[in-house]
Chains A and B, each alone.
Chain A
């Protein structure tokens, strides 16, 4: 079971979230139509691990860039224009581009990995969340805990409270 509270105002919504967190609920989702830094802070989201993906991607890209150039040159020994077979200056450009390409691709990978998207399973959601409503979802609760969560949400000033099935 999950409890879903819909708010019209973001300060109410944030207050509810804060109370839930301080009450020890750890399986809460905070849905908003715009990114809210405060909501992220409530959940204690600091530096995202995406950045590690970016770094790794860039490094892998750079290394594979230069490796690709050098390896191709060594496999096909085809001198051109009196340049060295392994001519570093032009390879730097390729490396540069490969660094960025892999950096971008890995960041994308990191986004998917960290955000858990794509996730097309049904999860508690209300369409107003993409317009102008702020939604708190408390998942995996039942019984007394659920009542407590519902109380916190109602106290914060939720417009609507729904009990829905847990996603997935």
Chain B
């Protein structure tokens, strides 16, 4: 009794997660394929019921885009280059945002996902401060849709009210469905490619790949090993679950 308790204490005193992740959902984004077309941005907006905030709020940086394209110029005319990089929640394994939440509104689940539980959120917004990628978006207002645009809203995703933080979930509703299907189907594991977030699904250049990096055969695991692979702001040691493949040169 006592010894098991002590063992438990010891086990839980080690940094890290559970025993291991059931799945470790990971995304790779090949910047050599990415053209910055923003199909992913709209796909996310459609899938996850992101609000239409309006020009005035946009002008004050109150937009909500769970995935956004960042643009970086390099050089000056005429030798000027543009680099696009889609930035979404990196689902860091060592996520600074999770630690700071006083009410466990964000935590790491068994799928290696950095989850955001809207119901628990009290809106301290500290997670957005702690996030170096600035991918957490706050509901400054309760947003409404001009009738009948609300008919488009995805019933699998909740609509958030004012005062709640939100962010990319790797389309957790799709993961849930895939896992349910796999469970119904003789309790097998989710197959590679069976679940794709909306952004990955839409990408015309197939720049994004999503899968379970616990599975060495998964496409995402292979992509991660690409020599061009890197993680954004790797030096901060947040161990993101999004691996970027650097743009190649001619």
Contacts and interface: CB of A to CB of B under 8 A. Distances in A.
Q: Do A and B come from one complex?
A: yes
Interface of A: 70, 73-74, 76-88
Contacts of B58: none
B94 A82 contact: yes
A80 B98 contact: yes
20 contacts: A73-B12, A78-B104, A78-B107, A79-B16, A79-B17, A79-B18, A79-B98, A79-B107, A80-B107, A81-B97, A81-B98, A81-B99, A82-B16, A82-B17, A82-B93, A82-B94, A82-B95, A84-B13, A86-B13, A88-B13
Interface of A is mostly: loop
B132 interface: no
B101 interface: yes
Which 6 residue pairs across A and B have the least CB separation, nearest first?
Answer: A81-B99, A80-B98, A82-B94, A85-B12, A81-B98, A78-B107
Main SS of the interface on chain B? loop
B108 interface: yes
A65 B15 CA distance: 21
A83 B106 contact: no
Given A80-B101, A81-B96, 12 more contacts: A77-B18, A78-B107, A79-B17, A80-B98, A80-B99, A80-B108, A82-B94, A82-B108, A84-B12, A84-B15, A85-B13, A87-B13
Nearest to B239: A82
B97 to A, nearest CB: 8
Contacts of A70: 9
A21 to B, nearest CB: 56
Given A78-B104, A79-B18, A80-B108, A86 B12 contact: yes
B8 interface: yes
Contact of B106 (A74, A76, A80, A88): A80
B187 interface: no
Interface string B1-43: 0000000110011111110000000000000000000000000
A83 B15 contact: yes
B119 to A, nearest CB: 14
Contacts of B101: 80
Contact of B99 (A74, A76, A77, A83): A83
B21 to A, nearest CB: 11
Nearest to A74: B12
